[in-house]
Structure 1
Amino acid sequence: MGVRAVKLSQLADFPPLKKNYPVFRFMGGNLISFFGDQIYLIAIPLMVLSITGSPVSMGIVAALERLPILLQPFAGILSDRFNRKCLLLLCDLGRCILVGMIGILFIMGILEMWMVYPVVFGIGSLSQIYNTSQFASVPGLVRREDLQAVNSLNSGMFNLAVFFAPGVGGLIISFLNPGYALLVNSVSFLVSFLAIASLRMKREERDSSKQSIWREIREGVEFVIQTKPILYTNLAMVSSVFGTTLFLTLLVFHLKDSLDINTVMIGWLLSAGGVGAILGAVMSNFFRRWFSYRSILFTASVVGGLSILLFGLMDTYFWLVITNAAGTFCASMMSPCIITIRQTLSPDHLLGRVQATSRLMTWILMPIAAFLAGILAEAMGTNLTIVLAGALSTLASIPYLHHSLKEY
């Protein structure tokens, strides 16, 4: 209760959301970084396709980028022990250098796959630390009652980037090559670095000398297991993330190689998905006024999973756009709800570890899914693999029916 009381008193010091300018600068930096990330997501598959022409190589790259998920417990400890602002700055700077490096090497025509593998692993590692620290930093910037609105806005900004960035990335790649798109991504990390550097973020004093690393990890795991709303949303996300990873790993490759859609149209299809995602983020805060988290999460999970399944069955551009937009709408409506549940129920000194434990639980199968995507695509084609992904994502809706979620 003492931790809760301190946390509430700290949140009371913050101004109303409309006047909380630091948190808007924080989200602005995130928007620029998100923008670059979306360009990265379209540039990397096309770069690998250009070098190797193999879906298996794309699966290996995607798996290596997601493998640092296994380091999540340590990312949580870093976030809870050290200055979160410094961690955010270091991660932005590191990603700026790594992404820029492979972009330049590709432009020079000397990039080889053995160079790509360690770089994407490094980018993935820094992203894990950044995302955990970012999650843990938000409650220290706003009032508790503003958390749902801030998470919805942050998700909306992310999806605004999803709307604009792929189209821009597609144009850059169409006129130049993926290397230049990665240079844009590198600059976005630099802008995010400068935005975060301008903030005055409170540094909570944490006594990290009395506990071992393993005891700290166990403390986060025990809290997640005991807190049923967090536990059951995590269990639902395991199957959902596995299916979604199968889908996303093959998305660009499927559109380009199997359906012979040109790069610019791929970019606009992904951007159109951003429209649905922006609407989903906005509607999340609206629906929360009328429905429980359980109702929102279950319905969105079912519809989102079916949209992936239908995507695998479609071969006309119009319906590909519609099903992709429906999926992004549902995913972006769910994300702020899950994040707010974790932030609201977790004490400040456990925020990093709760997020890290939750991500490890929900994302642990992502590297396997990414690798299997390439293997399954070779064996039975991208269409059937995406249909399988949709079926798995739809089944993920079942744990959301747990009664503990009805209370929130």
Structure 2
Amino acid sequence: MLAALHHRNFRLFWFGQMISLIGTWMQNVAQGWLVLQITNSPFLLGLVSMLGTLPVLIVSPIGGALADTLNKRTVIILTQVTAMTLAFVLATLVLTKHVQYWHIVILASTLGITMSIDAPTRQSFVVEMVGKKDLLNAIALNSSIFNLARILGPALAGLIISAIGIVLCFYLNGISYLAVIAGLLLMRGNFSPAKKQRARVIEDIRDGFGYARRDKRIMALITLVAISSIFIMPYAMLMPVFARDILHVGPKGLGILLSAAGIGALIGALSLAIFSSYKKKGRFVLVGSVVFTTAIILFSFSSSYHISLLLLLFVGWGMVTQNASINSLLQTRSPDHLRGRIMSLYVLSFMGMMPFGSFQAGLLADHFGAKMALRIGGVIVACITYFIFTKNKEFISMEG
């Protein structure tokens, strides 16, 4: 279950991320609550989320090409230092009471550019730390701390916002980046790319896209990630609306709602870590997709806080089961020299589609309500998932 942690470099990276991700989730919750306080608009809440992830559409393919040609550890250190600086800037604006909506938009967009380079580099760096044998175990362990942070971060943020104030969340996030930076600096080894020759970035991107387009299984997996990001993932962005206007539980309840999804996701990640040796990962993808679409549709009908918490457990479990399994399948099916670019397509589909998801969900929520926005999205994802797996039944037996 903990095979990947036997690798020293991964162990350093993993523990550093554990601390940093808690800070990230604290900021995510605090920023959503801050935007809602300033604007009182679900649409503007969705807009800042959209603009924060929009850079992924342009920058992540470049990030993938850079990941295949530069020292990955150095790239990640630079992105983490940049993200830490942005967190401190936002914290200072809030502390001095000068923060305005456009400040948040600019800072979120800049962070989006930074993470568009960081994400494909980080994803393709994992296999260099642990090798292909322990890859799914490493992905599952990474997912487990991401989702542990989803439990602790929002819960802490809710308590801090209620008891002390929103500004502390932003400062703590900035400080938390020091942990992952320290872990990266302590690593040993040569992290330079295997191939020294360097083609032009555009040609590198074209090669990666061309390979993915010719492999129908890779394209199907990327499609599943994309539609989930557009129509299901906005549930987290809309959670402040559910907490305040539908379930009437305030910032503490918001933190607990997001933590519930995190608990479900953590259980899913740990389950994958236990069953990481199971070959037919396509079955994990199908089961995860069915569970989270069903749960999100049922959640959209709920007006009960406790039933909503239960359903969010299943949403979290299904999302991580689908995404971690797809991540593993993509990395094992990709040639070593193209892995960064293939993973940039995964990031493009996962994060790059979120702007459209945030926009459509915010727009639908403004006109028809947050419940209907999620309901429509869940039905669309369920229909497309059914089509993909019935048209390509061999996908269920995909190995990785």
Answer with 123-132 or 313-322: which moved more: 123-132
2:113 paired with 1:125: yes
Q: Residues 400 and 254 (structure 1 numbering): CA distance in 2 closer, same or farther, change over 3 Å? A: same
Q: State the SS of the aligned residue for 2:43.
A: helix
Q: Are the counterparts in 2 of residues 229 and 341 from structure 1 also a CA contact under 8 Å?
A: no
Q: How many Å apart are 1:35 and its aligned residue?
A: 1.0
Residue of structure 2 in register with 1:356 after alignment = 344
Which among 8, 11, 16 is matched to residue 29 of structure 1?
16
Answer with 205-214 or 54-63: which moved more: 205-214
Q: State the SS of the aligned residue for 1:331.
A: helix
Structure 2 CA distance, aligned partners of 1:162 and 1:201? 31
Q: State the SS of the aligned residue for 1:223.
A: helix
Residue of structure 1 in register with 2:54 after alignment = 67
Structure 1 residue ranges, 4+ long, deviating more than 6 angstroms after superposition:
none
What is the one-letter code of the residue matched to 1:350?
L
What is the one-letter code of the residue matched to 2:217?
P
Structure 1 CA distance, aligned partners of 2:77 and 2:353? 28
Residue of structure 1 in register with 2:331 after alignment = 343
Residue of structure 2 in register with 1:193 after alignment = 181
Structure 1 CA distance, aligned partners of 2:194 and 2:23? 33
Structure 1 CA distance, aligned partners of 2:349 and 2:308? 31
Q: State the SS of the aligned residue for 2:99.
A: coil
Residue of structure 1 in register with 2:69 after alignment = 81
- Structure 1 residue runs of 5 or longer lacking an equivalent are 1-15
Structure 1 CA distance, aligned partners of 2:4 and 2:60? 30
Q: How many Å apart are 1:365 and its aligned residue?
A: 3.2
Structure 2 CA distance, aligned partners of 1:395 and 1:246? 18
Q: Are the counterparts in 1 of residues 239 and 254 from structure 2 also a CA contact under 8 Å?
A: no
Q: How many Å apart are 1:228 and its aligned residue?
A: 3.1
The percent of aligned pairs where both chains have the same amino acid is 25
Q: How many Å apart are 1:203 and its aligned residue?
A: 2.2
Q: How many Å apart are 1:109 and its aligned residue?
A: 0.8
2:264 paired with 1:276: yes
After TM superposition, the score normalised by the length of structure 1 is: 0.91
Structure 2 CA distance, aligned partners of 1:17 and 1:372? 39
Deviations 1:114-168 (A, max 9, x none): 2111110011111121111111111111132111111111111111111211111
Q: Are the counterparts in 1 of residues 63 and 116 from structure 2 also a CA contact under 8 Å?
A: yes
Structure 2 CA distance, aligned partners of 1:249 and 1:363? 13
What is the one-letter code of the residue matched to 2:24?
D
Answer with 342-351 or 42-51: which moved more: 342-351
Q: Residues 201 and 185 (structure 1 numbering): CA distance in 2 closer, same or farther, change over 3 Å? A: farther
Structure 1 CA distance, aligned partners of 2:231 and 2:295? 12
Q: How many Å apart are 1:100 and its aligned residue?
A: 1.4
Question: What is the number of residues matched between the two proteins?
Answer: 393
Q: Residues 363 and 111 (structure 1 numbering): CA distance in 2 closer, same or farther, change over 3 Å? A: closer
Q: How many Å apart are 1:103 and its aligned residue?
A: 1.4
Structure 2 CA distance, aligned partners of 1:366 and 1:400? 23
2:217 paired with 1:204: no
Q: How many Å apart are 1:90 and its aligned residue?
A: 0.7
2:30 paired with 1:43: yes
Q: Residues 201 and 166 (structure 1 numbering): CA distance in 2 closer, same or farther, change over 3 Å? A: farther
After TM superposition, the score normalised by the length of structure 2 is: 0.93
Answer with 218-227 or 362-371: which moved more: 362-371
Which among 264, 276, 295 is matched to residue 307 of structure 1?
295
Residue of structure 1 in register with 2:141 after alignment = 153
Residue of structure 1 in register with 2:204 after alignment = 216
Q: Within 5 Å, which residues of 2 pair with 1:105-120? A: 105-120=93-108
Answer with 25-34 or 391-400: which moved more: 391-400
Q: Residues 244 and 97 (structure 1 numbering): CA distance in 2 closer, same or farther, change over 3 Å? A: same
What is the one-letter code of the residue matched to 1:56?
F
What is the one-letter code of the residue matched to 1:69?
V
Q: Residues 392 and 257 (structure 1 numbering): CA distance in 2 closer, same or farther, change over 3 Å? A: same
Q: How many Å apart are 1:246 and its aligned residue?
A: 2.9
Q: Are the counterparts in 2 of residues 63 and 367 from structure 1 also a CA contact under 8 Å?
A: yes
Structure 2 CA distance, aligned partners of 1:116 and 1:85? 29
Which among 146, 151, 165 is matched to residue 177 of structure 1?
165
Q: Are the counterparts in 2 of residues 242 and 392 from structure 1 also a CA contact under 8 Å?
A: no
Residue of structure 2 in register with 1:58 after alignment = 45
Q: Residues 363 and 396 (structure 1 numbering): CA distance in 2 closer, same or farther, change over 3 Å? A: farther
Deviations 1:78-120 (A, max 9, x none): 1111111111111111010101111121121110112111110
Q: Are the counterparts in 2 of residues 246 and 389 from structure 1 also a CA contact under 8 Å?
A: no
Deviations 1:155-196 (A, max 9, x none): 111111112111111111111222211111111112211121
What is the one-letter code of the residue matched to 2:41?
S
Q: Are the counterparts in 1 of residues 72 and 192 from structure 2 also a CA contact under 8 Å?
A: no
Residue of structure 2 in register with 1:370 after alignment = 358
Q: Are the counterparts in 1 of residues 137 and 276 from structure 2 also a CA contact under 8 Å?
A: no
Residue of structure 2 in register with 1:9 after alignment = none
Structure 2 CA distance, aligned partners of 1:60 and 1:339? 28
Residue of structure 2 in register with 1:236 after alignment = 224
Q: Are the counterparts in 1 of residues 147 and 262 from structure 2 also a CA contact under 8 Å?
A: yes
Deviations 1:197-246 (A, max 9, x none): 11124223455765222211111011212233322111122221111233
Q: Are the counterparts in 2 of residues 72 and 360 from structure 1 also a CA contact under 8 Å?
A: yes
Q: State the SS of the aligned residue for 1:313.
A: coil
